[in-house]
Amino acid sequence: MTGSVPPSPPPGPPDDRQELPLLTHGEPQPLRADAARNRTRLLEAASRLLTECGAANLTMEAVATAAGVGKGTVFRRFGDRTGLLLALLDHREQQFQAAFVSGPPPLGPGAPAAQRLHAFGPALIRHERAHHELILATRTDPLRVYGVPAHGLRVGHLVMLLREAGVQGDAELLAHTLLGLLDAALVHHLCVERGMAPTRLEAAWHDLVTRLGAEP
């Protein structure tokens, strides 16, 4: 994606927060039953290869061979290798979205907004660390991560919580700033290259959110 990034979706009113749709990285349109089965078959083959050889060695040709189809079928379904990797992320992302959109408190609805803000950071850190290899492998375009609907949902969710918690300032820019602290590449660098414990990152999140005025 090389064009301008669309603005983040505005948050809905507080009573609508459980109605936010789960958004995927790369397959927004519903599929016919046969197309859905073929896509599932390809993703199952890709998941097996991902486990066996890692994201760096996952190729469209290997997926086609493992699924018993032509290479062109894989390209038509996912567009390119990044599209395939994003599709693999969709299931994991939807599980995380379900947790903060409609799951149990304090991450999900039912807890005060400040508590949900404090719960969001550690949950996202765990999510990013669990899937860091797959996430980092999709970073072929530095702008693409900001344009996918899943990122917009995270921004909109944090904007909603910041406003409900009474945090002063530009809620949208604050949401982007908070998400920057939890970026998968930064989390990987700090935990793996710098040897920081994830609990240190979680403590930094709690400190930052508290300094913004959202007391736990």
Do the beta carbons of residue 28 and residue 86 sit within 8 Å? no
Arithmetic mean of pLDDT over the chain? 84
Integer Cα distance of 155 and 145 in angstroms = 12
**How many other CB atoms sit within 10 Å of the CB of residue 68?**
9
Kindly tell me the sign of the dihedral angle through the C-alpha atoms of 98, 155, 162, 211. positive
Which has more pLDDT, 17 or 203?
203
- State yes or no: pLDDT of 31 exceeds 50: yes
Binning pLDDT at 50, 70 and 90, where does residue 89 land?
A: confident
CATH class for domain 22-211? mainly alpha
Integer Cα distance of 38 and 26 in angstroms = 16
* CA 157 to the chain's CA centroid: 12
Integer Cα distance of 93 and 198 in angstroms = 20
Which has more pLDDT, 211 or 6?
211
**Helix 113-130 to helix 81-102 angle, to the nearest 10 degrees?**
150
- State yes or no: pLDDT of 14 exceeds 50: no
Q: Give per-residue pLDDT as tens, 38-62.
A: 888 898 898 888 888 888 888 999 9
Which has more pLDDT, 146 or 153?
153
Tell me what pLDDT residue 50 has: 85
User: Per the confidence metrics, is the pTM higher than 0.75?
Assistant: no
**What single DSSP character describes residue 159?**
H
Integer Cα distance of 126 and 111 in angstroms = 20
Closest CA to 150 of 169, 127, 129, 171: 127
3-class SS of residue 185: helix
